[in-house]
Amino acid sequence: MKSMEQLKQEVLASERAILTFGYGNRRSFSELLSYFEDYRVLAVVDIRLSPRAWSRFWYGDSIKERCSDAGVIYLSEPALGNTSGTEEWVPPDFERAHEALRSVAEIARQVNTLLLCAEINHKRCHRTEVALELQKQVALPIIHL
């Protein structure tokens, strides 16, 4: 398994990447904000069905404010959310999900884009499938943070 430093060097060498991040129960934005700088993230796409959390701390408006302060674009794309209740991605509407993927692909072609969800472990989160579908459109490496 590659170290975080090796992953960072891969991103910097390729100049573009699809990054994924699950906030889990973190109580601060510090790790997310450090990734913005370390991986030159300029866009965050929140792929939760609803941009809310058990803690208001991770509500979309709070994340949007932190992103704005860091000069990072924040977009909520509930069409890329998951209705299955498992890591298997079942979007609420397949047509809208494909439209949202096309929009996100346009952004990912221009800047490093981070897909954000709640589940801390990417292997148990639908964001892995979303990243793979996005990768088909933009042919960029995927880095799970």
- Long-range contacts, 99-106 (Cβ 8 Å, 24+): 101/130, 101/133, 101/134, 101/137, 102/137, 103/77, 104/45, 104/75, 104/77, 104/80, 104/134, 105/134, 105/137, 105/138
The CATH homologous superfamily for domain 4-144 is Tetrapyrrole methylase, N-terminal domain (3.40.1010.10)
Confidence at residue 15, expressed as pLDDT on a 0 to 100 scale = 75
CA distance 75 to 85: 22
Whether 127 contacts 84, CB under 8 Å: no
pLDDT tens track, the chain, 145 positions: 656 666 566 655 567 899 999 988 777 788 889 989 999 999 999 998 876 655 555 666 788 988 999 999 999 999 999 999 888 999 999 999 999 999 999 999 999 999 999 899 999 999 999 999 999 999 999 999 9
Q: Where are the domains of the chain?
A: 4-144
CA pair distance 107, 111, nearest whole angstrom:
6
Task: Give the length of the chain.
Answer: 145
Q: Which value, to the nearest 10 degrees, does the dihedral of the CA atoms of residues 60, 101, 131, 77 take?
A: 10
